[in-house]
Amino acid sequence: MSPIVTVEHIGKSFKGLRALHDVSFTVDAGEVLGIIGPNGAGKTTLFNCMAGLFPPSTGTVHYEGQDVTGWSDARLARAGMVRTFQLMRPFGSMTVVENVAVAAAARGESEKEAEAEAWDIVQRIGLGQYATRTSKDLPTAGLKRLELARALALHPRVLLLDEVLAGLVPTERQPVIDLLLSIRDEGTTLLFVEHVMQAVMALSDRVIVLNQGEMLASGTPEEVTKNPEVIEAYLGDEVTDADSH
């Protein structure tokens, strides 16, 4: 199977501060790739470079065989590579359905079609009861779902999920994990940055570990969690914590 995303030798420096250095990996279509690492490891920077929020200082990103390095985030999103944010960014004055309709309309649908599709997605993602409420009134779990709903309205082929479970209490996590699995089952490739090991273990086909801007390890969740370097750099007690969830 040919990779849907290829990242080659990506690096990013901010005024001399090296946030990311020579990171390379590929993701196959339909795969679920977890990206983990301690705080400041460069995970979000990697997402930002891939999703076009800012261009990488070095290296290239290929999506569906095309060099998309330096494409804007909006162009990439319309092409099907969509990211969500760790800190939820709803359009506060709009209703939940309107929020989702923005993304559907950006994909090129007419206002009427966009709203109809937004309504379907909102129902599907479990926000039906909030559909006509303004998004600023949503609880955290609802806002997380809204981030996903908006991304889904773009019919993504690759979803970059930045800490989609952060801020959720353990009982709220499993439904979101189930939701992500259903999105995967429909053929969407998922890349996700996550601190919640329960999700990393449950979802990932493969995991890459970043540390201080560099790639430390790559492999199945089991391989990675047994890697002594990874344990030393990051995981520590969290593996056992995750088992207890």
Partner 1 sequence: MSETLVQTVPSPMRKRRFFDGNMIAVVVLVVLAFPLPLLLEQGQEAIAIRVLIFAMLGMSWNIMSGFGGMFSFGHAAYFGIGGYTSSILLVNLGISPWIGMVAGMGLAAGYGVIVGWLCFRYKLRGTYFALATFAFAEMLRIIVQSAEVLNASVGWNVPLIQGSSWWLMQFPAGSPNYFWLGLGLMAACLVVTIVFMRSKAGRFTIAIREDETAASSLGVPVLRYKLTAIALSGAIGAVAGVFYTQYYLFIDPELGFGAYRSIEAILIPVVGGIGTIWGPIVGSVLLAPLNDITAAILRNPPPFLEFLQGRTGLDVMLYAVLIILVILFLPKGVFGTIKEKVTKR
Helix, strand, coil percentages (3-state) for the chain, rounded to 5, are 40, 25, 30
Instruction: Specify the stretch interacting with partner 1 by CB under 8 A; choose among 10-18, 33-41, 97-105, 193-201.
Output: 97-105
* Binding residue (CB under 8 A) for partner 1 from 111, 232, 241, 243: 111
Write down how long the chain is.
245
Check binding of 83 to partner 1 (CB under 8 A). Answer: yes
Cβ neighbors of 222 (< 8 A, separation 6 or more) are: none
Instruction: Specify the stretch interacting with partner 1 by CB under 8 A; choose among 17-25, 146-154, 197-205, 225-233.
Output: 146-154
Cα radius of gyration rounded to whole Å, the chain: 18
At 115, which helix (H) or strand (E)? helix 111-124
What track of x and - describes contact with partner 1 for positions 52 through 71 (by CB under 8 A)? -x------------------
What track of x and - describes contact with partner 1 for positions 160 through 179 (by CB under 8 A)? ---------------x--xx
Matching residue, tokens 């946030």: 19
Strand partners, 218: 208
In the complex, minimum distance from the CB of residue 166 to partner 1, in angstroms, rounded to a whole number = 17
Rounded CA separation 65/93 (Å)? 39
In the complex, minimum distance from the CB of residue 244 to partner 1, in angstroms, rounded to a whole number = 23
Strands (E), the chain: 3-14, 17-28, 32-36, 58-63, 66-67, 81-83, 158-162, 189-193, 206-211, 214-219
Q: Which is nearer to partner 1, 171 or 244 (CB)?
A: 171
Task: Residue 176: count other Cβ atoms within 10 Å of its Cβ.
Answer: 21
Q: Which is nearer to partner 1, 86 or 227 (CB)?
A: 86
| CA 135 to centroid of chain Cα atoms | 21
Query: What tokens does 116 get?
Result: 């109809």
28 exposure class (CB count in 10 Å sphere: 0-12, 13-18, 19+): middle
Q: Which is nearer to partner 1, 107 or 195 (CB)?
A: 107
What track of x and - describes contact with partner 1 for positions 184 through 223 (by CB under 8 A)? ----------------------------------------
Site for partner 1 in 114-143 (CB under 8 A): 114-116, 119, 123-126, 128-129, 131-132
Can you give the binding site for partner 1, defined by CB under 8 A?
A: 51, 53, 72-75, 77-78, 82-83, 85, 89-94, 97-98, 101-103, 105-107, 110-112, 114-116, 119, 123-126, 128-129, 131-132, 150-151, 153-154, 175, 178-179, 182
